[in-house]
A and B are shown apart, each in its own frame.
Chain A
Amino acid sequence: MDDIEPAATEEDAAPRAAAGERVVIAAFTASMAAALALAVVYWRGGQAQLEGVLLAISLGGIGVGMVVWAKRFLPSGEITEERGRMASTDDEVASFTHAFEQGEQAIQRRALLLKLLGGAVGALGVAALFPIRSLGPRPGRGLFDTGFRNGTRLMTVDGRSVRPEDLSVGGVVTVWPEGHVGEPDSPTLLVRVDRPELFRRPTRTQWTVEGIVAYSKLCTHTGCPVGLYQSRERLLLCPCHQSTFDVVEGAKPIFGPATRPLPQLPLGLNQAGELVSTGDYREPIGPGFWNRRR
């Protein structure tokens, strides 16, 4: 059965072997040198590129050496082995069954006992599921509400209120409700459009102030911040999946996977001439969920 043959035939064996040995020697030596150099580089403060290269050489040296060694000097040749079959014979199955069913006393209500065992394990399993509840709070109104109320001042990220004249035509700024600056569920975009007369339904013009309209910044697709404003076309673009919203038409999606407009925030001015909300969003902002409209 042993049909393993030596790697090379007699006459060319010697020079080839010598060449092969030289390759292996070189590879292992290079590996050793690189490993030492690696230690030195590390010791002297480290340098990512060098570390990578030296590590590669020291590992690669071992790899090359081993592969060449295996190919040149280790026996090669094919062996044929019988595969045998997968399935057991009937006899084996029978003897397994016999072994498995050993030792049970005659019980009258075996089926009942088995059912009860199943029931007990099942009940334990169900009870074991309950602690999962500890992982998080009951989903509450948080998905429906943000911090905007009637008269809440709109604040920029550095905590300043906004007056209409702070916004140049075609400009955008991200704001939060006062006291909630930076909170992830209420970033809102103020956009000043160049031609307010273009506003049409479903934009509610009574919620705009001097050509400034406020929409939730969270995309109605999967909630990415809709950060890019193309002032010429008056479009808001979501960088995540390219949903595009028409600012003068109620931020209705005109391209991409988003199905719903960005909710509009009712805007007003307070006595100091600062922009405020006149209420919260009328619908949940951001991505949809099963009972969003409840």
Chain B
Amino acid sequence: MNQPRPATRSRRLARWVDDRLGTAYLATKALRKVFPDHWSFMLGELSLYSFVILVVTGVYLTFFFDPSQAESTYRGSYEAMRGVEMTAAYRSALELSFDVRAGLVMRQIHHWAALLFVATMAVHMARVFFTGAFRRPREINWMVGVTLLILAVFNGFAGYSLLDDQLSGTGLRIGYSIALSVPLVGTWLVSLLFGGEFPGPDIIERLYVIHILLVPAVIAALIGVHMAILLRQKHTQFAGPGRAEGNVVGERVWPTYAAKGLGLFFLTTAVLAALGGLAQINPIWIYGPFDPAEVSAASQPDWYMGWLDGAMRLIPPWEVRAFGYEVPNPFFPGAVLPGVTFALLYLWPFLEARFTGDRSEHHLLDRPRDRPVRTAMGVATIAFYGVLFLAGGGDVLSTTFGVSVNAVFQAFRVLLFVLPAASAWVAYRLCRDLAQRDPAPADDGSVAMTALAGVAEDGRDQDDRAGHDGPEAQGQAVGKHH
């Protein structure tokens, strides 16, 4: 470890590349980036890793999966389904599970990774929300993040709808009916999407292109944008000794942070591999091939669709009828609710700025307790969607606890409003108490003064223009460019 390094082959290669691209300058800059450290800053990273795993396992699945609704017969090694007529999609998914070596592990890792992808994204978003990291100048990245969440949820749905088993067919049928319920254009919409009336001849092939190409490409591009903006704006940090609005206190990317990050990637993959091997998920051979005249009781979607499923169940039997036209009931929980949800998410940074009148730049994070109103609203939101999520399993709860379905759903309808209000109140009081007992560490004034003075003097972000913070690095940069 301590010997002087000889001009190894790798160094010669690096030199070769540098001669042609001048990479040393950029690479140095990247290695020297400073990142503040906090456990909660890892959540976004986990999301990124899950996406990488989705792509790797997904590509493997594409080699064997056949996204076709053509009639086909299973002849593989799973006894119970041998000789059964089914679509090629379902047949190839069965083959992936029983006849392709390592196919089942890959399928299950893919599915577990999808659950983790959306989960870590949602929790990451909650972190950003409760700490106020979405405030100026980070509104754009907040909106990029909301878009990523929508795409991830959508692609997950598209993914498990491909297999054409009983569960996925039921999900698609509900999706079809929601699209059909859209005023004016609903009937056209479903005809163009499904290629005709449900189940339509084309939906699986189309979802396939969307699932493996379109949405992942957009997600990858947006992740790139997300990271680029993060690098440009630098990470936020919590207040503390030496930390101020004008500086970033943390570890350099290279080598420790990078090594830990890479290690974390391997650990994430390890957990998903263990789940993929040991924890059965989406056992399509139990659900059977899709039959539009049958549905299994207690079908539950993936967790990230649960809130929509719950809303579909909790809504009272209302619809709008006028002048011989109608807006059917599923439109409200199925289209209006997600529309409003995501619109509010997109707009939140601007709404908050308007309410608080605070439009200044922030790089220091809030402690949730110091922003009791925001925290209470966030908690209420989580409670609201949490109740919807639980209502998605209302029938299961009813049979498990022997309570009538009717009672369960009436209770959920009350809870849907009472629980958010109550939890908001509790959160608000808790924040006030906590904040009183433990006042906020202020922006470290001394540092702030020098940091701001530094900015004021040369009027510029030294680091980002020249690319470096150490004197010797500065020298290199100059040498490179002149």
Q: Which residues of A contact B (CB under 8 A)?
A: 1-2, 4, 42, 45-46, 48-53, 55-57, 59-60, 62-67, 69-71, 74-86, 89, 132-133, 135-139, 142-143, 157, 174, 182, 184-185, 187, 217, 221-225, 227-228, 239-243, 253, 255-259, 286-294
Whether A46 and B317, one on each chain, are in contact in the complex, defined by CB atoms closer than 8 angstroms, is: no
**Within the assembled complex, what's the spacing in Å between the Cα atoms of A132 and B265?**
41
Residues in A whose Cβ lies below 8 Å from that of B334? 222
Residues in chain A near residue B270, CB distance under 8 A = 55-57, 59-60, 63
| Interface size of B in residues (CB-CB distance below 8 Å) | 111
CA distance A76 to B251 in the complex (A): 7
In the complex, which residue of chain A has the Cβ closest to the Cβ of B268? A63
Q: Which of B102-153 contact A (CB under 8 A)?
A: 102, 104-105, 108-109, 137
Contacts of A1 in B (CB 8 A): 469-471
Complex contact A80–B263 (CB within 8 A): no
Instruction: Indicate with 1 or 0, residue by residue over B450-462, a CB within 8 angstroms of chain A CB atoms.
Output: 0100110001111
Q: Which of A76, A89, A143, A185 contacts B256 (CB 8 A)?
A: A76
Cross-chain contact of A143 among B197, B278, B318, B324 (Cβ < 8 A) = B197
Binary interface profile of B, 146-174, with partner A (CB < 8 Å = 1, else 0)? 00000000000000000000000010011
Enumerate chain B residues within 8 angstroms of A70, measured Cβ to Cβ: 255-256, 259-260, 263
Q: CA A78 – CA B464 in complex, angstroms?
A: 19
Would you give 26 A-B contacts (Cβ < 8 Å), ordered by A?
A: A46-B102, A55-B273, A56-B273, A59-B273, A64-B267, A66-B262, A67-B263, A74-B255, A74-B259, A75-B255, A81-B248, A83-B247, A132-B192, A135-B192, A136-B200, A138-B188, A184-B199, A184-B293, A223-B173, A242-B409, A256-B313, A256-B317, A287-B181, A289-B326, A289-B328, A290-B326
Contact status B406-A255, CB under 8 Å? yes
Residues of chain B within 8 A (CB-CB) of A138 are 188, 191
The answer to whether A82 and B198 touch across the interface, beta carbons within 8 angstroms, is no
Q: Establish whether residues B317 and A259, one from each chain, have CB atoms under 8 Å apart when the complex forms.
A: yes
- Across the A-B interface, the 4 shortest Cβ-Cβ residue pairs: A52-B277, A84-B461, A288-B328, A63-B266
Contact A293 B193 (CB under 8 A): no
Complex: how many Å from CA A221 to CA B312?
Answer: 9
Contact, CB under 8 Å: A222 / B174? yes
- Other A-B contacts than A79-B469, A258-B329, 10 sampled, CB-CB below 8 A, are A55-B274, A63-B264, A64-B267, A80-B34, A82-B454, A86-B361, A137-B191, A222-B174, A290-B183, A290-B184
B251 partner, pick from A60, A79, A224, beta carbons under 8 A:
A79
Interface status of B7 (Cβ within 8 A of chain A) = no
| Interface assignment of B178: CB less than 8 Å from any CB of chain A | yes
Task: Find out whether the CB atom of B317 lies under 8 angstroms from the CB atom of A48.
Answer: no
**B198 touches which one: A4, A221, A223 (CB < 8 A)?**
A223
Interface of A is mostly: loop
Nearest-CB residue, chain B, relative to A51: B105
Across the interface, name the chain A residue whose C-beta is closest to B458. A84
Which residue of chain A has its CB nearest to the CB of B252? A79
B180 interface residue per 8 A CB criterion? yes
* Beta-carbon contact of A56 and B101 below 8 Å: no
Q: Is the CB of B191 within 8 A of A82?
A: no
- Contacts A63-B270, A224-B170, A290-B326 given; indicate if A85 touches B455 (C-beta within 8 A): yes
Q: Does B297 contact A (CB under 8 A)?
A: yes
Question: Which of B178, B273, B461 contacts A85 (CB under 8 A)?
Answer: B461
Report if A222-B298 is in contact (Cβ < 8 Å); known contacts: A55-B105, A182-B293, A184-B199.
no
B187 CB–A CB distance under 8 Å: yes
Residues facing A in B61-103 (CB within 8 A) are 101-102
**B263 nearest CB across to chain A (Å):** 3
CB of B319 to closest CB in A, whole Å: 5
Residues of A within 8 A of B324 (CB): 293-294
